Amino acid sequence: MLHLDRISDRNYLPTEQDIIHISSVVQTLGISDYVFDVGKIQYCVYDVGGTRSQRKKWIHAFENVDIILFQAPLGDYDKPLREDEDALNMAESLTLFESLVNSRWFVNTAFFVNFTKMDLFEQKVKSRQKPLSQYHPDYQGDPSDVKAGVQFFVDQFQERIKERKGSVHVTVLDATDTAQATLLLQRVVQVAEAKKMRCSSFI
């Protein structure tokens, strides 16, 4: 709406931000893989779809990957799943995370749990129009306290982790902010380097 004039211009060229935002209409289907080098490490990165039907395609295909980048859309706490109106996005993320992090296949895998859409979370919580407790009744904190809301979800995820060897890193970010995304990827590279992996696989 705000960008209609810009994108309907005859000479329109998409910006980096346009490309980052286009994926709301382009859902990931199947498995995409990318291979590239950073320093001495070769990375094999797999991008997989998060919806229920997509998950069936990959859930058993990534045994023993080195690192999992798990995206949990914090700012969608009020939104139901595309595929099931009765299930909330963050509740589904929590269930999926619990099954992956405690799976014997991923016992040595390092997890990065990235709480994304922090920008949207902040706007919604501050506006008080979508109280967290209305969607997640276990939240009993101040309805407009962004920090307490984030902590609620961090605790929920941490409570689901049973004993494991691989590390779990938690990041809260606006994934469309390339500076924040770069910082996250730098941390991922540090973990990969520390593991001295020859070929790292991410999902």
How many chain residues bind ligand GTP (CB under 6 A)?
17
For residue 50, what are its two tokens? 């998060």
Min separation Cβ 50 and ligand GTP, Å? 3
Give, as one character, the DSSP assignment of residue 106: G
Angle at which helices 118-127 and 146-159 pack, to 10 degrees?
120
Asked if 28 interacts with Mg ion (CB under 5 A), we say: yes
Q: Give 37's strand partners.
A: 42
- Matching residue, tokens 């929920």: 156
Q: Which of 38, 41, 45, 49 binds ligand GTP (CB under 6 A)?
A: 49
Give, as one character, the DSSP assignment of residue 88: B
Q: Which of 27, 32, 108, 182 binds ligand GTP (CB under 6 A)?
A: 27
Min separation Cβ 62 and Mg ion, Å? 15
78 touches, from ligand GTP, Mg ion, none (C-beta below 5 to 8 Å by class): none
- Matching residue, tokens 């990969």: 192
28 belongs to an annotated ligand binding site: yes
Instruction: Decide if 73 contacts 88 (C-beta within 8 A).
Output: no
Cα(14)–Cα(65) distance, integer angstroms: 34
120 touches, from ligand GTP, Mg ion, none (C-beta below 5 to 8 Å by class): ligand GTP
Asked if 32 interacts with Mg ion (CB under 5 A), we say: no
Which x/- pattern, by CB under 6 A, does the window 91-120 give for ligand GTP?
-------------------------xx-xx
State phi, psi for 160 to the nearest 5 degrees.
Answer: -85, -10
Please return the burial class of 100, using the count of CB atoms within 10 Å of its CB with bins 0-12, 13-18 and 19+.
Answer: middle
Min separation Cβ 147 and Mg ion, Å? 28
Instruction: Decide if 74 contacts 150 (C-beta within 8 A).
Output: yes
Residue set of the binding site? 28, 175
> Where on the chain is the footprint of ligand GTP (CB under 6 A)?
20-21, 23-24, 27-28, 49-51, 71, 116-117, 119-120, 174-176
Residue ranges that bind Mg ion, judged by CB under 5 A: 28
Task: Write out the binding residues for Mg(2+).
Answer: 28
Residues placed in the known binding site for GTP: 175
